[in-house]
A and B are shown apart, each in its own frame.
Chain A
Amino acid sequence: MSQTAQRSRYVLKRLLQAVPVVLAIIVVNFFLLQLAEGDAVDVLAGEAGSATPEYMEQLREKFGLDKPLPVQLGVYMKNMLTFDLGYSFRHDMPVSKLVLDRLVPTLLLMVSTITLAVGFGIVLGLLAASSLNTWRDNVISVFALISYATPLFWVGLMMIVVFSLKLRWFPTSGMENVAMFYEGWDRVKDIAHHLVMPTLTLSLFYLALYTRLMRASMLEQSSMDYVTTARAKGLTERRIVFVHILRNALLPVVTMAGVQVGSLIGGSVIVESVFAWPGLGMLAFEALFARDLNLLLGIFLLSALLVVAINLVVDLVYSFLDPRIEVG
């Protein structure tokens, strides 16, 4: 079989594997909704201010809420699969439109965070591994330990105190200075300026994680036979590290970057609500305050789908990076 056919079969296989996960997540969503006190009609009646019991019964019938549970589940699944996530009464908008509107800022934050964390993590890990047990290695280890233990929201608040309130280097919140009506490059620069602190905050933990992972991975690879061979061939130490070891040591870091996406989305809820970054996380924070359960469930579903999708992409990237992995 040709390489491309093999690859597309692998993609198809991975896509099919994702289907039951997505279905299961929808079922979990449905049961969470059932667990909640009251139903959509109660919410509607609450919003309207007054509603007679008869009218509420009518509404229940209209929405199919009087049907047995399995039927309701079927309807719910159909709705979800057509990306009909219900209606947010607080925002007076369909949930699907709301969450898609807010997806872009979150993706921007996530991409910049992953880039920063993976990039610097690789560099720091390399540095720590190549100067093993010296002060540099120790400083990096201590930094990693502290980053693991520090709550994200606290880092964010402290950065606001130091860099926004005291030094006035960065804005405290938001994604752009709307009042200035920037356009073109000015707007990009403005958004980048706002992006610095949320990205730094969110990436701190992952930076520590990738640094430790990279360090361990470099150390593991450097004791392999192929390194001895390379050294026996008379290659320079620099070439051995950067060409031979580095390539292999990168693989676990890529895997981990994929695994961490789910927790990254969780972290972005906190970071976005600290910096009022107008993404999905901020929307979740607002939904919490407004007790807008439909919206919260929609965000949950979308973020779960995002994790499934990104894991798929990482697996594919992985198979490109490491041809030893069987794609067939």
Chain B
Amino acid sequence: MSFWGRFCRNRSAVVGLFILALVILIAATAGLLFPEDPFKLVGRSMSAPGENGFLFGSDTLGRDVAAGMAHGARVSLLIGLLATSVAVSLGVLLGAMAGYFGGWIDDVLMRFTEMFQTIPSFIFAILIVAIMKPSIQSVIIAIAVVSWPAVARLVRGEFMAMRNREFVQACHIIGMSDWRIMIREILPNCVSPIIVTGSLMVATAILIESGLAFLGLGDPNIISWGFQIGAGRTVLRSAWWVCTFPGIAIMLTVLAINLVGEGLNDALNPRLRERT
């Protein structure tokens, strides 16, 4: 069966892909749908959903919640993708070295990884952002720093399993360099699990980002879902919608990415699926 055939066999993954596509579409067209700056005060403050032309209401200052959500989708997806790419690159590099070379390199790198896994990751992320001053870059770095260990462990396992296989031995015999074997020969063989883990990490990254922004550690110049909820919590009693709708956006996006990740898992590791 083709990749798509296997992916579509998982119904919920298709639903997830549909929701995700919708979020991406909204993020891409946010500038067209809501051409105004989402920070701009555009109408009466504290309008309920549907009132005064606000689909999801307006906040304490009269900012459009829906506009903030559309522009916030960009930030969430962007930070999710960038932080995951940084984390995956770092994890692949360290994991590949540990798994391929073994010995003391493996020992040192794994102790290092374990230490990062022991540290309470969310508090670590808070610290990094607080120290580097909140900005898109510092949020991305913080999320990447706390998420790479999972990839490193996964890649290490894959490399360890492959390093003594015949095709790798053949590469050694024809005199290929270690780095070339690692990048050109072994790495392409473990792309599937990396993609699956990576896709699930995007979801976690979005959750971490929203948590940081909720605590006031987002980039102050960019609107995001977590920031909206954090700003709206003071008026929870009188304007529940300011917190409610951005939260639903986070939930749907993360849920969709998780479902797509599971679908990718089924599609990329068909044998694994049949065994369970």
- CB contacts under 8 Å to B, within A15-36, are 20-21, 24-25, 28, 32, 35-36
Bound-complex Cα distance A255 to B236 (A): 38
Q: DSSP class of A's interface residues: helix, strand, loop or mixed?
A: helix
Query: How many contacts A-B (CB < 8 Å)?
Result: 133
Q: In the complex, what residues of A have CB within 8 A of residue B35's CB?
A: none
A157 touching B243 by the CB < 8 A rule? yes
Let me know if B240 is at the binding interface, CB within 8 A: yes
Let me know if B7 is at the binding interface, CB within 8 A: no
B123 touching A269 by the CB < 8 A rule? yes
Give A114 Cβ to nearest chain B Cβ, in Å. Answer: 15
Given contact pairs A21-B115, A157-B236, A158-B244, A151 touches B126 in the complex (Cβ within 8 A)? no
B258 touching A149 by the CB < 8 A rule? yes
A270 touching B214 by the CB < 8 A rule? yes
A153 touching B229 by the CB < 8 A rule? yes
Classify chain A: how many residues form its interface, as a range: 35 or more
B240 touching A161 by the CB < 8 A rule? yes
Bound-complex Cα distance A160 to B234 (A): 12
Let me know if B171 is at the binding interface, CB within 8 A: no
Please give me the residue from chain B that is nearest to A267 by CB atom. B122
Q: In the complex, what residues of B have CB within 8 A of residue A263's CB?
A: 120-122
Give B60 Cβ to nearest chain A Cβ, in Å. Answer: 15
Q: In the complex, what residues of B have CB within 8 A of residue A307's CB?
A: 118-120
Q: In the complex, what residues of B have CB within 8 A of residue A151's CB?
A: 207, 210-211, 214, 226, 229, 247, 250-251, 254
Give B245 Cβ to nearest chain A Cβ, in Å. Answer: 10
Let me know if A204 is at the binding interface, CB within 8 A: no
Let me know if A284 is at the binding interface, CB within 8 A: yes
Bound-complex Cα distance A146 to B259 (A): 11
Give A152 Cβ to nearest chain B Cβ, in Å. Answer: 7
In this complex, how many residues of chain B approach chain A with their Cβ under 8 Å: the count is 44
Let me know if A293 is at the binding interface, CB within 8 A: yes
- CB contacts under 8 Å to A, within B119-145, are 119-128, 130-133
B123 touching A149 by the CB < 8 A rule? no
B119 touching A284 by the CB < 8 A rule? no
Which A positions have Cβ atoms within 8 angstroms of B? 20-21, 24-25, 28, 32, 35-37, 145-146, 148-154, 157-158, 160-161, 165, 262-263, 265-267, 269-270, 273-274, 284-285, 288-289, 291, 293, 296-297, 299-300, 303-304, 307-308, 311
19 interchain pairs (CB within 8 A)?
A35-B132, A149-B252, A150-B250, A151-B229, A154-B229, A154-B247, A154-B250, A161-B236, A161-B244, A265-B122, A265-B123, A266-B125, A270-B122, A288-B130, A297-B127, A299-B123, A300-B123, A300-B124, A303-B123
Which 6 A-B pairs have CB atoms at the shortest separation, nearest pair first? A266-B122, A154-B247, A149-B255, A149-B254, A262-B120, A265-B120
